[in-house]
Chains A and B, each alone.
Chain A
Amino acid sequence: MKRIVRVMLLGCLAAPAPALAQVPYDRLVKAESEPQNWLMYAGTYKSQRYTQLDQINKQNVTQLKPAWVYQLRVGGVFETSPVVVDGVMYMTEPPSTVTALDVRTGRPLWSWTPKIPDDVIVIGSPPVNRGVAVLDNMVYAGSIAGHLAALDAKSGALRWDVAVDDNKIGYYLTLAPLAIDGKIIVGVSGAENGIRGFVDAYDAKTGKRVWRRHTIPASGEPGNETWGGKDSWKTGGGSTWLTGSYDPDLKLLYWQVGNPGPDWNGDYRPGDNLYTCSVLAINPDDGSLKWHFQFTPHDTHDWDANETLVLFDATVNGRARKLLAQANRNGFYYVLDRATGEFLNGTAFVKQTWADGLDAKGRPRLKPGLDPNPEGILVYPSIQGAANWHAPSYSPRTNLFYQTAVEMGTIYYKGEAVYKPGIGFTAGGGRTINGDDAWSAVRALDATTGQLKWEFKLLSAGRSSLLSTAGGLVFGGTEEGNFFALDADTGKPLWDTQLGANIRGIPVSFAVDGKQYVAIAAGFALFVYALP
């Protein structure tokens, strides 16, 4: 009884939204206008992961103190990016649990765990979940069982559940879905299983699938000619395992596509292997393709292009442009015109040894002889990439693109693989040159040119997700457990604390009762910090 009363009170104190449409689409479009909330995976449809909150700033960040901690009940790799709506946090616990927390205290309001079969297949990543989407009065989450579920935002009760695709042949979900007008968009993991990837749209109310956009063209479709070998397109990978971005004005959905399969032996699939390692601009009404850009044609190093796509507007060569930027796993930072897909700029942001730069259209000029081979060959960046799922941030205040760049090489090996449903289909692998011989750096790049403005070195070759703030800060976390804040203008470290385990979580910021908080998952716990 107490719990119900408290939840109702909370609702009364919170936003003046209608009871049955807690987060209508219009609020998502205008997410920037309510910085006290963090309404979707990367903050807004632009995926800038920037907060306009400035209560915590350069002057007072040294005073940050823990506000509360939420401990996982079952351990696991904890990569969540929480969503916060009107005093309630919706976050995911590994492998696929959704939990709602009271942001004032960290006390759980409800928790929901899907059925995961004992023989679930998760190959290619740890069994993680990176977050939820909210729309109207529902919360949406994927699972490693390959399902998408819609939960009642107030109670956690299941409204509907659909199998996105068959986990027995390797499909699974780790990403936060993206909610747009009446639709829930998801992608899939599984490119190490010989899947054929896709982006799906589901009716938000019923769970009925509205469209499916395959990332690998079928026989007879344009692009299929880039798949040599017998039926190689059928097992060609092209997973879509991280959340895309959206431009409601252009009405274009941008989604990133992963590596071709098998990963490290391209002999099975001669050709460019469209649309793997690409970005797709998709019409959200029917899933049709407006344009595409391929970063790494015929990839043989597992440099999938699933990294977050950041949307921003700027003047390039005297012309105002709507832009899309990505720090790609292959080591180059790309800037495209997001209306047309035109390549505008590409600059290496880490040590890379595989390409003599990019040509005028953005295609890499390959150095010869750097494909994996049976004896092994050292190539930079590493098998985990110069970038990966860890989140970049863009600050409109500084026009800087913040990215944790991983400086690491790998000795790549080519092997053989026979496709068998549900079994790894990778044909090789690699040995990373890690430890003292590898490192990462938080780098601030001029967002339009990719030019390095500053860097802050991290000890380990970790994957620090970043959050930039109107308070002039960049928050991140290290592999060794340091939660830190840098000066967004200079990179100077301003504050750090040790959270006791590797930080895989993605920082977000929100406010309640006029107080700003910063949250990040580390080890098996979610930590929330605020000023005293």
Chain B
Amino acid sequence: MMKRWLWAGAIGLAISAMPVRAAAQNKADIDGGKLLFQGMCTECHGAGAAGGDAPPLNRPKLLHAPTDAALANIIENGIPNTAMPRVRRMTESETRQLVAYIRSLGKVADVKVPGDVRKGGDIYKSLGCATCHIVNGQGGNLGPDLTDIGFMRGPSYLRQSIVDPGAALPKGVLQVPSRGYSEYLPLRIVTKQGGEVRGIRVNEDTFTIQVRDQAGKFYSLRKADLELLEKQTGKSLMPSFSNRLMPAELTDLVAYLASLQGEP
């Protein structure tokens, strides 16, 4: 529980620490949208749109709503085959206010992240990060794809994920396992036959678990056949790099990761 709070806190910090872009919608629209949002949307999307049963909306890129028009369309028509209902009987100005409020939560300023991107890229190579991470299609597949990590996460989160990776296990990025579950959760498993498996959780249900070890080998196990299923919550297969980087190098590496904004 504590770790989760740390993680959630880190995201909150990453977002709140950045000033809202000056060209934001006018404040009256945002305030009006906030009131509407509290009345209609927080039940599923959580207060401040931080996520609940439905996905968080306090991020710059929304899966179903790349544009304001698309967001307004979703508010008015819902998303078919999901729990997102139509919110009809809203005036155009109310829809505009809701869009303004939701966008205000995800606006991140184009402020320059401190550090040297080029040097950070060299550090990324020298540390062997590409052994486990993919950027633009190149690299190993044990850890998360970092191609657009600078778009998805703020610098504070990126810094924490290098210094204390176990406290920053991602959630809600992959489609599997389902939303809310820690991704890349390390496991230690001992079967009733005495075999031991260490790896990351790929997926799980009440009766079975799917695991990938560091060599990439896949295991499908029934829980009834296991002697031990240890979920190493708060840990990560990624080592902490806090003792291997000088402060300036850490800043450069964060700057490099923050520069990864997805393929053009």
Residues of A within 8 A of B (CB): 75-77, 119-124, 126-127, 168, 192, 262-263, 302, 376, 383-384, 410-411, 413, 415-418, 421-438, 457-460, 478-482, 484, 493, 496, 498
- Decide if B182 touches A430 in the complex (CB within 8 Å): no
Inter-chain CA distance A383–B53, complex, in Å, is 10
- Decide if A498 touches B205 in the complex (CB within 8 Å): yes
- Decide if B204 touches A459 in the complex (CB within 8 Å): yes
Given contacts A435-B182, A436-B231, A430 and B52 within 8 Å (CB-CB) = yes
B47's partner among A120, A415, A480, A493 (CB-CB below 8 A) is A415
Inter-chain CA distance A415–B41, complex, in Å, is 11
| Across-interface contacts of A435 in B (CB, < 8 A) | 171, 179-182
Inter-chain CA distance A120–B47, complex, in Å, is 26
How far, in Å, is B170 (CB) from chain A's closest CB?
11
Which residues of chain B in 86-104 are interfacial with respect to chain A, using CB atoms and an 8 Å cutoff? 86-90
| Across-interface contacts of A460 in B (CB, < 8 A) | 178, 206
| Across-interface contacts of A77 in B (CB, < 8 A) | 83
- Decide if B89 touches A422 in the complex (CB within 8 Å): yes
Q: Does B257 contact A (CB under 8 A)?
A: no
| Across-interface contacts of B206 in A (CB, < 8 A) | 457-460, 478, 480, 482, 484, 496
Add 17 more A-B contacts to A262-B39, A433-B1 (CB < 8 A).
A76-B81, A127-B85, A168-B89, A423-B40, A423-B90, A429-B42, A429-B47, A430-B42, A430-B46, A431-B52, A434-B53, A436-B182, A436-B231, A459-B204, A459-B206, A478-B206, A480-B204
Q: Does B17 contact A (CB under 8 A)?
A: no
How far, in Å, is A235 (CB) from chain B's closest CB?
12
Q: Does B233 contact A (CB under 8 A)?
A: yes
Which residues of chain B in 29-80 are interfacial with respect to chain A, using CB atoms and an 8 Å cutoff? 35, 38-47, 50-53, 80
Closest CB pairs A-B (n = 8):
A429-B42, A415-B38, A435-B180, A424-B40, A480-B205, A431-B46, A413-B47, A434-B180
Q: Does B125 contact A (CB under 8 A)?
A: no
Inter-chain CA distance A304–B175, complex, in Å, is 32
B81's partner among A75, A120, A416, A417 (CB-CB below 8 A) is A75
| Across-interface contacts of A430 in B (CB, < 8 A) | 42-43, 46-47, 52
How far, in Å, is A35 (CB) from chain B's closest CB?
29
- Decide if A418 touches B39 in the complex (CB within 8 Å): yes
B83's partner among A126, A415, A416, A457 (CB-CB below 8 A) is A126
How far, in Å, is B239 (CB) from chain A's closest CB?
22
| Across-interface contacts of B189 in A (CB, < 8 A) | none
Q: Give the residue name and chain of the B residue nearest to A374 (CB).
A: B47
Q: Is the interface of B mostly helix, strand, loop or mixed?
A: loop
Inter-chain CA distance A429–B41, complex, in Å, is 8
A417's partner among B39, B44, B208 (CB-CB below 8 A) is B39
Q: Give the residue name and chain of the B residue nearest to A122 (CB).
A: B85
A-B contact pairs, 9 of them (CB 8 A): A76-B81, A121-B89, A383-B52, A384-B53, A416-B35, A428-B47, A429-B38, A429-B47, A431-B47
- Decide if B231 touches A123 in the complex (CB within 8 Å): no
- Decide if A423 touches B42 in the complex (CB within 8 Å): no
How far, in Å, is B19 (CB) from chain A's closest CB?
22
Inter-chain CA distance A411–B4, complex, in Å, is 13
| Across-interface contacts of B233 in A (CB, < 8 A) | 436
A120's partner among B39, B50, B86, B207 (CB-CB below 8 A) is B86
Inter-chain CA distance A431–B180, complex, in Å, is 11
How far, in Å, is B256 (CB) from chain A's closest CB?
30
- Decide if A417 touches B88 in the complex (CB within 8 Å): no
| Across-interface contacts of A120 in B (CB, < 8 A) | 86, 88
- Decide if B39 touches A424 in the complex (CB within 8 Å): yes
How far, in Å, is A457 (CB) from chain B's closest CB?
8
Inter-chain CA distance A430–B39, complex, in Å, is 12
How far, in Å, is B93 (CB) from chain A's closest CB?
13
- Decide if B207 touches A437 in the complex (CB within 8 Å): no
Q: Give the residue name and chain of the A residue nearest to B204 (CB).
A: A459
- Decide if A425 touches B39 in the complex (CB within 8 Å): yes
How far, in Å, is A414 (CB) from chain B's closest CB?
9
Inter-chain CA distance A281–B182, complex, in Å, is 46
Inter-chain CA distance A457–B207, complex, in Å, is 10
Inter-chain CA distance A374–B18, complex, in Å, is 22
Q: Does B185 contact A (CB under 8 A)?
A: yes
| Across-interface contacts of A427 in B (CB, < 8 A) | 38-39
| Across-interface contacts of A124 in B (CB, < 8 A) | 43
Which residues of chain B in 208-233 are interfacial with respect to chain A, using CB atoms and an 8 Å cutoff? 208, 224, 231, 233
| Across-interface contacts of A423 in B (CB, < 8 A) | 39-40, 89-90
- Decide if A437 touches B40 in the complex (CB within 8 Å): no
| Across-interface contacts of A425 in B (CB, < 8 A) | 39
Given contacts A425-B39, A435-B171, A376 and B47 within 8 Å (CB-CB) = yes
How far, in Å, is A522 (CB) from chain B's closest CB?
12
How far, in Å, is A412 (CB) from chain B's closest CB?
9
- Decide if A431 touches B89 in the complex (CB within 8 Å): no
Inter-chain CA distance A123–B71, complex, in Å, is 18
How far, in Å, is A143 (CB) from chain B's closest CB?
15
Inter-chain CA distance A458–B205, complex, in Å, is 8
How far, in Å, is B253 (CB) from chain A's closest CB?
28
Inter-chain CA distance A424–B86, complex, in Å, is 12
- Decide if B42 touches A413 in the complex (CB within 8 Å): yes
How far, in Å, is B85 (CB) from chain A's closest CB?
5
Given contacts A415-B47, A480-B205, A498-B205, A437 and B1 within 8 Å (CB-CB) = yes
Q: Give the residue name and chain of the A residue nearest to B183 (CB).
A: A435
- Decide if B39 touches A436 in the complex (CB within 8 Å): no
Inter-chain CA distance A192–B43, complex, in Å, is 10
| Across-interface contacts of A496 in B (CB, < 8 A) | 206-207
Which residues of chain B in 158-183 are interfacial with respect to chain A, using CB atoms and an 8 Å cutoff? 171, 178-182
A123's partner among B35, B40, B53 (CB-CB below 8 A) is B40
| Across-interface contacts of B185 in A (CB, < 8 A) | 436
Q: Give the residue name and chain of the B residue nearest to A169 (CB).
A: B89
How far, in Å, is A286 (CB) from chain B's closest CB?
36
Interface centre among B35, B51, B185, B206 (most CB of A within 10 A): B206
- Decide if A437 touches B4 in the complex (CB within 8 Å): yes
- Decide if B90 touches A417 in the complex (CB within 8 Å): no
- Decide if A431 touches B205 in the complex (CB within 8 Å): no
- Decide if B85 touches A126 in the complex (CB within 8 Å): yes
| Across-interface contacts of B180 in A (CB, < 8 A) | 432, 434-436, 438
